[in-house]
Chain A
Amino acid sequence: METLVFALLNGVIYGLLLFMLSSGLTLIFSMMGVLNFAHASFYMLGAYLAFTIMEGTSFWIALFLAPVLVGLVGMVVERYGLRRVHAQGHVAELLFTFGLAYLIDELVKIFWGRTAVNYRVPELLDFPLFTLYGAQYPAYRIFILFVAAFMLVALWYLLKKTRAGLIIQAALTHPNMVGSLGHNVPLIFMTVFGVGCALAGLAGVIGGNYFVTDPAMAVQMGPIVFVVVVVGGLGSLEGAFVAAMLIGLLQTSAISINASLADIFGFLGLGPHTEVGEITIASMAPMLPFLMLVLILMIRPRGLMGDREI
């Protein structure tokens, strides 16, 4: 029971962070058809910028300023990089973002060094909020929960209830028609790209001190974000949400399961001291998202809730 509750809580928080990261990517992917390889690099950039801003001022300024800065960088990348490569087709676009991720990784290593930086939880939130089954639960995690939930509601409101959201939704599926109606589609693309990157940056700001802020964080997070987008389905934020939650819960609960394969498949004659039998469920947790990715692409290429195939 104890492990279950903690796994659930942590899983939900991880899932919400994942959703924050992948919501921008889903929008960008559905609208422009670009699977942005550098998306997780913007997440890393957010964390590092927040660390620097926090050293100079405070965490609360970083919470607002860092995502805005990351968003601006994203807009510049779209305007002067992606738009230029767009004419050469999807493979060139994918390769461009791949190279960009590589560059951001190296630049981060130049500016902030190769080891992890000491990006810490702000003191105001650095206390145990409540005690559950004798274990203390940090307040910062609940703070993440609230920021993510707020962002979720704000994004939903923006997309479903405002005129701007209406145009964005139309541009998702019918960019040419939207253009014919007199809207500046390239500008919409640039804005969405920027906002998507800003969301990734926000996830970095609040996730960087929850996990570790080091140059490897983009490489670790990047592929998982793809999994969320692909499993959720093209053009569907709801799908991305469900997929993010699913992966968050799956991974955190798998980590807390101590059983080995021999315990589960022992009845098939799998010995506890054979190589396969010794593998624990916990050690398989990092593989689960990719297994899901491959299976989804094979069985249901449109994802859980996608409106079309990739």
Chain B
Amino acid sequence: MTDMTATYAGLEPTRAEKFRQRTVPLILFALVLLVIPLFNPSRSMITLLNHMGITIVFALSYNMLLGRAGLLSFGHAVYMGLGGYFAVHVMNWVAEGTGFWGAVPIFSMPAFGFGAGALAGAIIGWPSCRRSGTPFAMISLGVAELVAAAGFMFDSLFGGEMGVSADRMAGPEFLGLSLGPVDEVYWFIAFWTFIGVLGTYAFTRTPLGKLSEATRDNAERVQFVGYNPQRVRYLVFIFAGAFAGMAGGMSAVQDEIFTPESLSLVPSGAILIATYVGGIRYFTGPIMGAIVMTYMGSNLSDYTVGWLLYLGLMFVGVVMFLPNGIAGIVYGTADTLRAGRLGEVWQSWLLRLAGLVLIAVSVITIIEVAFRWSDGYGEVFEPFGLSLATTNPLTWILGVLPLVLGVVLVLKAAKGESK
């Protein structure tokens, strides 16, 4: 028996390992957040960064459900929306400045969102979390539809189509931040993003966080060990709602408005896509997904009207071929490099990369030409000085040939790897 415990003790990571694996990444993240303003980003860049921070916290809270607890929710925006709405209302009370509210700084709004999100999670989670799997997904869908419909119905709470707006410069200043210009809002977002990352990470280290993963993998065994899977799901759900509400509070300060749209299925679907594309099996996956998706959402739409289609293609591609998402690629590559196996795999990697680029050339050509054709304005897709009209045979060659070639290369790479 003592031998057993001795060997188990040997398995435990050393202090240095723990520090390197758990604390160092967080310190690095904080450093990145501190260093970003030194590069003098433009105002629009800061706004984009702020939205990234909000989406990071939102995606992490969503992954508490999807990745950690295995609960697929189609209505997670409900909790961000309700948290955000509460924060917007609190901001208006602060602006009135009577009694207690006069002393509340706007800086603390995410905390109010956190509370409202937790409350919403506690109320809605009670009926939802009795089942997992498809019934849970369906209930979340029904609840989202109900809450969104209610959002358009109760104008005094949700402000109707126009939503509720607030002023982030009201109330007492905190840490000397007036929160007027966006670069001051950046510090606010950076602070709360760090708190959100820290909080969701700390949650994965708690017994509840571990139990939620156990419940995902085998609820029956969890029950045998003496825990109630329903209660585990319920508690996780409350925390996920709370962090989503926190993201809502951040968004309330950044955008100063909340509309009933934010409760609907559309933002819920968007966060599902962002989280999954990032990679739900890694803690950092949702962070990567949030950064990539927010960037694409704000910049890709400048280049092409079809960016939603690209987003959809990317999502389906990830679901079909890359269940570990972006994080899977990043960590997989890092592992291979660290193990010194680059020499064995570089050929198939190169093949695959070439194949993917070729496929992308075809897909982009087809989509862009199709979009211009359907618009009916007679516009012509002109990449790199080529004029790709529908009548130009080059268009069809570019649309088909690289696709076929690319698929062949990718298949060849896959074959080589399986050997």
Which residue on B lies nearest to A113, using beta carbons? B374
* Residues in A whose Cβ lies below 8 Å from that of B138: 35, 226, 230, 293, 297, 310
Which residue on B lies nearest to A37, using beta carbons? B74
Cα–Cα distance between A230 and B133 once the two chains are bound (Å)? 14
* Residues in B whose Cβ lies below 8 Å from that of A113: 374
Q: Do B139 and A294 touch across chains, with their CB atoms under 8 A apart?
A: yes
Contact of A297 with B131 at beta-carbon distance under 8 Å, contacts A96-B320, A111-B374, A283-B153 already known = yes
Contact of A110 with B131 at beta-carbon distance under 8 Å, contacts A102-B312, A293-B142 already known = no
Which residue on A lies nearest to B375, using beta carbons? A113
Does A84 lie at the interface of the complex (its beta carbon under 8 Å from any beta carbon of B)? yes
Q: Do B135 and A297 touch across chains, with their CB atoms under 8 A apart?
A: yes
Q: Do A294 and B319 touch across chains, with their CB atoms under 8 A apart?
A: no
Which residue on B lies nearest to A111, using beta carbons? B374
Main secondary structure of the interface of A (DSSP, over half): helix
Complex partner residue of A95 from B70, B139, B276, CB under 8 angstroms: B276
Q: Do B142 and A102 touch across chains, with their CB atoms under 8 A apart?
A: no
- Within the complex, the shortest CB–CB distance from B296 to chain A, in Å, comes to 14
Q: Do A290 and B146 touch across chains, with their CB atoms under 8 A apart?
A: yes
- Within the complex, the shortest CB–CB distance from B220 to chain A, in Å, comes to 15
Q: Do A103 and B312 touch across chains, with their CB atoms under 8 A apart?
A: yes
Q: Do B312 and A88 touch across chains, with their CB atoms under 8 A apart?
A: no
- Within the complex, the shortest CB–CB distance from A176 to chain B, in Å, comes to 20
What 0/1 readout, one digit per residue, does chain B (78-100) give for beta carbons within 8 Å of chain A? 00000000000000000000000
Main secondary structure of the interface of B (DSSP, over half): helix
What 0/1 readout, one digit per residue, does chain B (297-320) give for beta carbons within 8 Å of chain A? 000000000101101110110011
Complex partner residue of B155 from A98, A103, A105, A275, CB under 8 angstroms: A275
Q: Do B313 and A103 touch across chains, with their CB atoms under 8 A apart?
A: yes
* Residues in A whose Cβ lies below 8 Å from that of B142: 223, 227, 290-291, 293-294, 297
What 0/1 readout, one digit per residue, does chain B (259-277) give for beta carbons within 8 Å of chain A? 0000001000100110010
Q: Do B319 and A90 touch across chains, with their CB atoms under 8 A apart?
A: no
Complex partner residue of B371 from A85, A95, A110, CB under 8 angstroms: A110
Does A99 lie at the interface of the complex (its beta carbon under 8 Å from any beta carbon of B)? yes
Contact of A110 with B141 at beta-carbon distance under 8 Å, contacts A95-B319, A96-B316, A310-B135 already known = no
Does B23 lie at the interface of the complex (its beta carbon under 8 Å from any beta carbon of A)? no
Q: Do B153 and A294 touch across chains, with their CB atoms under 8 A apart?
A: no
Q: Do A92 and B312 touch across chains, with their CB atoms under 8 A apart?
A: no
Contact of A92 with B127 at beta-carbon distance under 8 Å, contacts A35-B134, A106-B308 already known = no
* Max chain A C-beta neighbours (<10 A), residue from B66, B155, B156, B323: B323
Interface size on A, residues (CB 8 A): 43
Cα–Cα distance between A105 and B371 once the two chains are bound (Å)? 14
Does A287 lie at the interface of the complex (its beta carbon under 8 Å from any beta carbon of B)? yes
Does B405 lie at the interface of the complex (its beta carbon under 8 Å from any beta carbon of A)? no
* Residues in A whose Cβ lies below 8 Å from that of B167: none
Q: Do B131 and A94 touch across chains, with their CB atoms under 8 A apart?
A: no
Cα–Cα distance between A94 and B135 once the two chains are bound (Å)? 12
Contact of A310 with B134 at beta-carbon distance under 8 Å, contacts A103-B309, A294-B139 already known = yes
Q: Do B131 and A301 touch across chains, with their CB atoms under 8 A apart?
A: yes
Mark out the residues of chain B between 107 and 144 whose CB falls within 8 Å of any chain A CB in the assembled complex: 127, 130-131, 133-135, 137-139, 141-143
Contact of A286 with B149 at beta-carbon distance under 8 Å, contacts A94-B72, A107-B309, A297-B138 already known = yes
Q: List 12 A-B contacts (CB under 8 A).
A: A81-B320, A85-B319, A95-B72, A98-B272, A110-B306, A290-B149, A291-B146, A294-B139, A297-B138, A297-B139, A298-B127, A310-B131
> Which of A's residues lie within 8 Å of B, judged by CB?
33, 35, 81, 84-85, 88, 90-92, 94-96, 98-100, 102-103, 105-107, 110-113, 219, 223, 226-227, 230, 275, 279, 283, 286-287, 290-291, 293-294, 297-298, 301, 309-310
A-B pairs, 4 with minimum CB distance: A293-B142, A99-B316, A106-B309, A102-B312
